[in-house]
Structure 1
């Protein structure tokens, strides 16, 4: 199974559902890079690691306010499910589907 590709995602935030496209580019040694682009702009993936079909990474949000995001997701087939921890805003659900 490959995790590479782009996923149409929705994060359930306190501001309502936020849509974005998460792009995953596998690297060497269990690492990956990429970004997520949506209505609030683009955020680069930092420190991406792959363990089996589980991804862990960080992002730095700048709008509407600066905040560090800690993210995890599991990929099963073409479905992505996970969590985004956003400091004082708590943990939010993340779901996505691979773009064909």
Structure 2
């Protein structure tokens, strides 16, 4: 099982303030999948890759604005940290904590 499997509360520090969303990751037959819920929408994660305790993925959101996001995080037990990027905007800090396994 991957170290990221479970449900996470992520906080992204953006130019318009800190945003929170719930991310769920699951592994079935060796395939890692994920989704994110926040701001009234649930979106699938794409291009999800794992290398040890490093994870990356992409996500398209429409709220609070339409953006394509790229994430890169490192998991350490029940916490994670890393960054996200929305197109040409500056990278933003991401932190998270596992809320269920």
TM-score bucket (shorter structure): 0.7 to 0.9
Indicate whether 1:45 and 2:41 are aligned.
Answer: no
Q: TM-score, normalised by structure 1?
A: 0.86
2:42 equivalent to 1:9: no
Runs of 4+ in 1 over 4 A off after TM superposition: none
Q: How far, CA to CA, are the matches of 1:49 and 1:72 in structure 2? A: 10
Structure 2 residue 58 is the aligned partner of structure 1 residue 25: no
* Matched ranges for 1:1-100 at <5 A: 2-27=3-28, 31-39=31-39, 41-100=41-100
Calculate the aligned-residue CA RMSD, in Å. Answer: 1.8
Report the number of matched residues.
Answer: 99
Contact 1:40/1:64, CA 8 A, preserved across alignment:
no
- Deviation digits for residues 30-50 of structure 1 (CA, Å, limit 9, x no counterpart): x52111112352221001011
Q: Distance in 1 between matches of 2:59 and 2:18?
A: 18
> Normalization by structure 2: what TM-score?
0.86
Question: d(CA) in 2 for partners of 1:40 and 1:84?
Answer: 20
Counterparts of 2:20 and 2:60, CA distance in 1: 17
Q: CA deviation at 1:28?
A: 5.0
Question: How far 1:74 moved relative to its partner?
Answer: 0.7
Q: Secondary structure at the match of 1:3?
A: coil
